[in-house]
Amino acid sequence: MRKGVEDRIKKAKSEKLMVKAKSMALQLPPEGLKLHSGGFLSEVVVSYECFGKLNASKDNVILVCTPLTMDAHIAGWYSEEDKEPGWWDEMIGPNKAINTDNFFVIGSNILGGCGGTTGPSSLDPATGSPYGSHFPTITIQDIVKVQNLLIEQLGVQSLAAVIGGSLGGMQALEWSIAYPDKVKKCMCIAASTHLSPQALGFEIVGRKILLNDKNYAHGDYYDFPDRPDTGLAFARMIGLLTYLSPASMHQKFSRSKDESESTEKFETGYDVENYLDYNAKKFVNRFDANSYLHITYAMDTYNPIETYGSIEKAFEKSSSEFLLVALSSDWLFPPSESKRLCKTLLNIGKIASIIELDSPYGHDAFLLEVEYLKPVIHSFLTEELETKQDRVDKINALSTAFEDTPPEVPVLFNLLDDFKYIESLIEPKSHILDIGCGDGKLIDTLYRLRGATGYGIDINLESLVHCLFKNVPIVHGDVDDGLNLFGDQSFDYAVLNQTMQMLKKPDYVLKEMLRVAQKGIVVFPNFANINNRLAILSQGVMPISKGLPYNWWESPNIHLFTYKDFQVLCESLNIQIEQSLFITNSFLSKGFCALGFNNLGAELVIAKISRSSGY
Amino acid sequence: MRKGVEDRIKKAKSEKLMVKAKSMALQLPPEGLKLHSGGFLSEVVVSYECFGKLNASKDNVILVCTPLTMDAHIAGWYSEEDKEPGWWDEMIGPNKAINTDNFFVIGSNILGGCGGTTGPSSLDPATGSPYGSHFPTITIQDIVKVQNLLIEQLGVQSLAAVIGGSLGGMQALEWSIAYPDKVKKCMCIAASTHLSPQALGFEIVGRKILLNDKNYAHGDYYDFPDRPDTGLAFARMIGLLTYLSPASMHQKFSRSKDESESTEKFETGYDVENYLDYNAKKFVNRFDANSYLHITYAMDTYNPIETYGSIEKAFEKSSSEFLLVALSSDWLFPPSESKRLCKTLLNIGKIASIIELDSPYGHDAFLLEVEYLKPVIHSFLTEELETKQDRVDKINALSTAFEDTPPEVPVLFNLLDDFKYIESLIEPKSHILDIGCGDGKLIDTLYRLRGATGYGIDINLESLVHCLFKNVPIVHGDVDDGLNLFGDQSFDYAVLNQTMQMLKKPDYVLKEMLRVAQKGIVVFPNFANINNRLAILSQGVMPISKGLPYNWWESPNIHLFTYKDFQVLCESLNIQIEQSLFITNSFLSKGFCALGFNNLGAELVIAKISRSSGY
């Protein structure tokens, strides 16, 4: 038994991805690196790590941007003796979400850091002493500029993708702004163009406290025996608390006291206090106070609106395709800000998808919800680099993380022909919004058959992962809340396929459809079909049929209606029904339809709608 | 014109409630006041204010407990020259929510404070110098003990109500625990039996920072020229940020900079930074660092579970009737904790109501959402002290704050007789849960006609205020989330009156009904009524009738069903229908019912249900 365990450990160890820490001095012009603030750095050294192989066309590079306090060691192991791998090892490696079998993956320590890249604790070549108070103000723009110089010196001219969470997400966005032609895909997790005011407030207070530490010495503390550890520890404690959410704290901390620990006056001894003490101490041992000040300041003051005038202008020239991943309980970068950014990107014609991960873990979810992030990242990054079958196999392997999602709605009548009817109603090369898009099959089909493009919107995350695999951009959300990320008349068609009867506000969604699209296509089960009528009349029960397959008490079909009812609603909304197709499977019903009694015969109605002249 | 304005100002001024600050030395035993921690205070002076008149029976006293940094000046004006009235003046006064025409209202500065009541900055009679580091550890228990000594010296033996928000809410709860026979009504706003772990974390960090201030001098800083103002300012900044919510911060702060303010290195100059600097400075000028330490420590360590073993044991002997008001975005005292407390109180047989105020303003909502809190407080505090007509007039005047709430569902058939049918099905003196109780009229009627008692549950706040006016205790919440605050078999009857067809999960709610009650009474419109059948059969549209009065697309009736459907569901849930009443208004329908074709005839069904033997 024991032998078996040892073997497994040995096997796991032999699979470890080994990596070497590297360092490179940037080749700079004689005046040095010009910074966004106007300052200069005469020398810049960058600490970095590489994974996988650069292909011949040098177009398989993924740059991983790091969060606030993380270094270049993004994955892998330095030696067999290491206790821990790099900080995102779960995500990066052979056959992992960021697949090093396909991609050449680069991570680096950011400018201003203390993990090998030039920062305030580095020696200033002018003096031979640490920069300290002489280290110039840096910005996210400068951090990204250094990364660009690094990849250029590595012989790389463009990125297949840039990806990052938190401060790393801000860098990913800045990449798309500063190097608009270099970045093919930009994935920004738990970040936005600026920090929320509440997070900003806590950061500001943390910095004030650190600056007030009696050992700070205006930043020139490197030669003194005592460093501003106390102030740094306090700032870190505040930071740690902001990365969590009320729910995750509740889960993490009971009200128990560690009775073995003696408490000083005004100390509670509760486990949250011990947690803060322990982690702040650990942090102080691995991080430099000046780096903390400079990097948080860069994060707090980053705001492309200030630099470029507006978000629109900032991203104007970008050729990137975006995926924004927001975390539901993240109050440092709340989902509302990710949505606002997505809306703006869509508005200026960029391809931008958005996902809101439902997680109780606050900002930390970006490091904790690995199992949910894996398929999202994987599906966004695999396009073109794998075969279709590879994708299908992998999505099947990855989608186990979604077991709790609701079952799929059964397909009506076993008629898989509804796409054909829809196809028959649209012009080639139309731009389509599929509302309640499921796995994106409609847009994928219409793309292949009619050269259509389009977006999907759905509430089910698992479905959306399938969309990303198919390269169908998506918006994650509840249709009943409206289509407000999309601008007026952004599409040729908006399609509502067998979803309308499940909506809370079908009238509102219908109006929204014809706001965002020229025309709408609505597919719905007709409650007035003769079989439904007879069920109620003769049996006195709510009908159960192929079109309405649920028990009344558990049915998602909360607003049943007939074709005639649909006509009344359209009329009241000043909507015209341009064309209707009446679909049925039964002989009796077909007879009624043949005679023109469509409201009696149709089991399924497919209607093409547009605004009336008086709209 | 100007004259008119002056007159109005004069008039408003003449309406000002004038008040005097008072002070009283407590009569203590020779050994002094024994504290919860074991320490003693040989002298205790209390600063307090009184409003209204004590009645002859001395049973009209309301004690207002104050939050963390507020003093005894709860309302009114000291002089015509004051710039501001007391901090809760909007709530307290003649004809205000806490009506000083009816009640004798007392507010006091808490023990350990710095607003006139004995605290660390007071002179220690033993030394003639401020207590400083010698001030003993105090608890919420001690704070309440001092308040009790104060009211006893004022000749008061019991309280009509104790009310408080935040730390004041904790005191209100402790009153019900420590003096179980003295408190008739206990209203706890934005508070619970303990602070959330995240709030606790921030409090702990704030205290650590203050204790680390170089001027703190172990608390004996009173004789020195420099006080620990910097540390206190930092602690306050952290506190201020925790009182807000992400949404309220977003509303409050833009990303604008005050360009006129010069910024130091690492200062952002954003308005949130200026807000923190300004308010922390203001606070330092009015508050004592030692008081801040002692009071926050008392707040953080308050936890009746630790003192009494469990919440159940803590409140066991209390004779109070409780109203807990939670604030939806409050993460210091999250609604989940208020619900947990309410559930426990209900479980041990106490009368406890709960309301969750939907507000984006975080913990601060307790001071900001005055217009929503007014009717809630007023309706909870007016019982027995006013006539019915007074109440009706006042609720009409107050309920303007609810204009945004959805319209009421029209009463079915204009038949106001449904109560009579329900009445006919229950035994006298039954204990009843009215699910979707609206204004509480059913329980009020059954109380008057059948001596019934009971609870209402509803999602509409305005309705619940009417319930409180009628002295019907209530639980605020969405029925579809279950009846989980109520224990098994807590009621004789659970009533679902014309609500079932609006539920998302009617089967789940039905099961919940028979978990919390012996029997259920369900009133619903029968979709199989002949008129509905004919509408669908002959016209092919969803019926609109007195029983189903909505257009299909906007109907709240999302799960339509027939009597026969109801029978099927009950059977599948192992529920027996003991008795059914079939109600109709039309001649045709009456005929069917008379012939026994109830599913065809009934417009409204009233069914009495219970668990089958095999349940």
Domain holding B270: CATH number? 1.10.1740.110
**pLDDT of the residue at A424:** 83
**pLDDT of the residue at A355:** 97
User: B562 contacts in A (CB within 8 Å)?
Assistant: 536, 540-542
Asked if residue B324 and residue B233 are part of one domain, the reply reads no
Residue A535 contacts B where some CB pair is shorter than 8 Å: no
Asked if residue B168 and residue B147 are part of one domain, the reply reads no
Average pLDDT in the B74-90 region? 95
Phi-psi region of B112 (alpha: psi -120 to 50; beta: other; left: phi over 0): left
**pLDDT of the residue at B204:** 97
Q: Which of A208, A185, A180, A418 is nearest to A300 (CA)?
A: A208
The 10s digit of each residue's pLDDT in A592-615 is 777 778 888 888 899 999 999 866
pLDDT band at A414 (very low <50, low <70, confident <90, very high): very low
Q: What total of structural domains would you count in chain B?
A: 4
User: A200 contacts in B (CB within 8 Å)?
Assistant: 253, 268, 270, 272
Entry pTM: 0.90
Task: Kindly give the pairing relationship between strand A22-25 and strand A45-51.
Answer: antiparallel
The 10s digit of each residue's pLDDT in B381-431 is 975 544 445 545 554 554 444 444 433 333 334 345 678 788 888 888 899
Active site residue A559: no
The 10s digit of each residue's pLDDT in A165-174 is 999 999 999 9
Q: Of the candidates B240, B270, B298, which is a domain's last residue?
A: B298
**pLDDT of the residue at B614:** 67
Q: Bridge-partner residues for B519, per DSSP? A: B493, B610
Region of poorest pLDDT, from A124-133, A467-476, B308-317, B399-408: B399-408
Q: Of the candidates B255, B275, B298, which is a domain's last residue?
A: B298
pLDDT at A415 over 70: no
* Catalytic residue (one of B194, B294, B363, B476): B363
For the domain that residue B34 is a member of, what is the CATH number? Answer: 3.40.50.1820
Is B175 or B386 the better-scoring residue by pLDDT?
Answer: B175
Is B94 or B250 the better-scoring residue by pLDDT?
Answer: B94
User: A560 contacts in B (CB within 8 Å)?
Assistant: 542, 552, 560
Report d(CA A10, CA A321) in Å as an integer. 41
Residue range(s) defining the domain that contains residue B279: 217-298
Q: Of the candidates B404, B425, B454, which is a domain's last residue?
A: B404
Asked if residue A520 and residue A552 are part of one domain, the reply reads yes
AA identity, residue A181: D
**pLDDT of the residue at B393:** 58
Q: Which residue of A has its CA nearest to B245?
A: A198
Residue A563 contacts B where some CB pair is shorter than 8 Å: yes
Report d(CA A179, CA A184) in Å as an integer. 10
Report d(CA B107, CA A340) in Å as an integer. 46
The string of DSSP codes covering B95-130 is TSSEETTT-EEEEEPPTT-SSSSS-TTSBPTTTSSB
Q: What is the percent of chain A where pLDDT is above 70?
A: 91
pLDDT band at B330 (very low <50, low <70, confident <90, very high): very high
Average pLDDT in the B533-543 region? 81
Residue B195 contacts A where some CB pair is shorter than 8 Å: no
Task: Give the B window 252-281 contacts with A, CB below 8 Å.
Answer: 252-253, 255, 265-268, 270, 272-273, 276
Is A113 or B481 the better-scoring residue by pLDDT?
Answer: A113
**Domain contains A523:** yes
Query: CB B241 to CB A565 under 8 A?
Result: no
**Domain contains A405:** no
What stretches of B298-408 adopt beta strand conformation (E)?
321-327, 351-357
**Domain contains B569:** yes
Asked if residue A540 and residue A603 are part of one domain, the reply reads yes
AA identity, residue B244: L
Asked if residue B451 and residue B503 are part of one domain, the reply reads yes
pLDDT at B539 over 70: yes
**Domain contains B202:** no
Residue length of chain A: 615
Asked if residue A187 and residue A47 are part of one domain, the reply reads yes
For the domain that residue A566 is a member of, what is the CATH number? Answer: 3.40.50.150
Active site residue A363: yes
Partner residue facing A276 (CB), from B201, B238, B564: B201
Asked if residue B181 and residue B148 are part of one domain, the reply reads no
Asked if residue A504 and residue A366 are part of one domain, the reply reads no
Taking residue A396's Cβ as centre, other Cβ atoms within 10 Å add up to 9
**Domain contains B208:** no
Asked if residue B184 and residue B149 are part of one domain, the reply reads no
Query: CB A552 to CB B559 under 8 A?
Result: yes
Asked if residue B423 and residue B360 are part of one domain, the reply reads no
The 10s digit of each residue's pLDDT in A350-393 is 999 999 999 999 999 999 999 999 999 999 997 554 444 554 55
Look up the ipTM and state it.
0.90
Partner residue facing A272 (CB), from B201, B230, B331: B201
**pLDDT of the residue at B99:** 93
Partner residue facing B334 (CB), from A246, A504, A554: A246
Asked if residue A427 and residue A341 are part of one domain, the reply reads no
Active site residue B166: yes
**Domain contains A274:** no
Q: What is the percent of chain B where pLDDT is above 70?
A: 91
Asked if residue A387 and residue A466 are part of one domain, the reply reads no
Burial label for B24, CB within 10 Å (0-12, 13-18, 19+), is middle
**Domain contains A294:** no
**Domain contains A534:** yes
Query: CB B540 to CB A270 under 8 A?
Result: no
SS3 label, residue B257: strand
